[in-house]
């Protein structure tokens, strides 16, 4: 007897002469899902970005008609995807030092320094983490983005997990989607926070300043949890945990609650020098030229052993130096009272 699941989902994929062809039937239990959401479930080997690109390029038809991504499924629709497989972009392998915290045959964990761009883009065509990965592991050229699963901003330091095989890449993508990869940060923000909390505000591209993100009512869901580690006279050191992973999420959310990350010129506005700050603190704040944000801990399930693994690194020297001056300033304030 034929499996009912096979009757309602008939899938066929061919890759001949670089031509990709999928035929699918939307199951009835996907009633109400957007087209792209349904395809992500039916084609787990492809990212949502890739699927949305197919739709945007009119490579997807629903019952023979070209449809946009926001159409809702009713069940039973016949989906046809035909796309020319694009050759991967050719990036140069470059001998850039990597601070590798852990590595095995499946993945590696890297402590990225501030100032290193993760992926080539306009203005940063090389000398990126991706170029370094291609040099460290030449086989990564066969993986999308050399196995990079998630990113950190150029001026954010800390831990990144990178896949070395297709199996691991798919596993880590799924863990990100299910929000089971643990990402913990430390940050120094402007102002005094009395206690921790959660910021649950959607984020999208800024309607005017297109290089920035903002809290937007119809944006993508974004949830940030934070708690206080240490208080200073005019600043607070936080532990921040991401439940979602939107672009600039921590920086946008902290600015939204009017406690921007120290050194964040994009979302923090003018440099804040508190009145009565010691000369040493004043100088330290003036010289701190990047956002005080560090991804200090990361955890994920190993795709082969199924063991949950966790890594943690110290704060970088520049943040430790800033914290030293904040403590000294707080002590001088107490003595002066």
DSSP for 1-25, written as a single string:
---HHHHH---EEEEETTEEEEEEE
Give the CA distances from residue 219 to residues 72, 201, 207, 309, in Å, rounded to whole numbers and listed in that order.
19, 8, 11, 32
Task: For 257-324, list the strands marked E by DSSP.
Answer: 293-301, 308-312
Do the beta carbons of residue 154 and residue 117 sit within 8 Å?
yes
Q: What is the largest CA-CA distance in the chain?
A: 84
Residue 271 half-sphere exposure toward CB, CA atoms < 13 A: 12
Tokens of 284: 């330290």
What's the full length of the chain, in residues?
337
Tokens of 249: 């999420």
Do the beta carbons of residue 289 and residue 262 sit within 8 Å?
no
Q: What are phi and psi of 30, to 5 degrees?
A: -100, 20
- Picking from 336, 221, 231, 225, the residue whose alpha carbon sits closest to that of residue 278 is 336
Beta-carbon count within 10 A of 33 CB: 19
Do the beta carbons of residue 108 and residue 169 sit within 8 Å?
no
d(CA 37, CA 98): 36
d(CA 315, CA 326): 15
- Whether 105 is catalytic is no
| Marked catalytic residue, from 3, 45, 153, 200 | 153
d(CA 103, CA 213): 34
d(CA 164, CA 149): 11
d(CA 94, CA 266): 30
Residues contacting residue 146 through CB under 8 Å, at least 6 positions apart: 91, 130, 133, 134, 137, 140, 162
Residues annotated catalytic, as ranges? 153
């Amino acid at each position: 007897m034929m499996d009912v699941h096979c009757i309602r989902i008939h899938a066929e994929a061919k890759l001949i002469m670089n031509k990709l062809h999928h035929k699918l039937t939307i199951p009835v239990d996907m009633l109400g899902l957007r087209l792209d959401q349904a395809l992500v479930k039916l084609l787990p080997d492809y990212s949502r970005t890739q699927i949305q690109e197919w739709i945007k390029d009119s490579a997807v038809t629903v019952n023979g008609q070209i449809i946009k991504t926001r159409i809702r499924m009713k069940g039973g629709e016949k989906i046809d995807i035909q796309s020319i497989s694009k050759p991967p972009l050719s990036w140069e392998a470059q001998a850039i030092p990597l601070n590798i915290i852990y590595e095995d045959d499946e993945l590696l964990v890297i402590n990225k320094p501030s100032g290193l761009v993760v992926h080539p883009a306009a203005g940063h065509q090389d000398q990126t983490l991706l170029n370094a990965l291609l040099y460290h592991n030449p086989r990564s050229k066969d993986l999308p983005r050399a196995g990079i699963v998630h990113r950190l901003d150029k001026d954010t330091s800390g831990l990144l997990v990178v896949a070395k095989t297709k199996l691991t890449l798919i596993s880590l993508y799924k863990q990100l989607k299910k929000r089971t990869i643990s990402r913990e940060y430390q940050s120094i923000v402007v102002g005094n926070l009395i206690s921790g909390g959660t910021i649950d505000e959607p984020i999208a591209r800024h309607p005017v300043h297109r290089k920035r993100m903002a809290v937007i009512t119809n944006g993508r869901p974004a949830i940030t949890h934070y708690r206080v580690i240490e208080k200073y006279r005019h600043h607070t050191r936080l532990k921040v945990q991401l439940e979602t992973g939107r672009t600039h999420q921590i920086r946008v959310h902290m600015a939204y609650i009017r406690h921007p990350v120290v050194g964040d010129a994009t979302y923090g506005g003018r440099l804040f020098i508190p009145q009565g700050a010691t000369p040493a603190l004043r100088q330290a704040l003036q010289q701190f030229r990047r956002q005080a944000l560090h991804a200090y801990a990361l955890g994920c399930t190993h795709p082969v052993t199924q063991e949950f693994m966790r890594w943690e690194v110290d704060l970088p020297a520049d943040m430790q130096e800033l914290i030293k001056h904040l403590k000294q300033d707080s002590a001088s304030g107490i003595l002066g009272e």
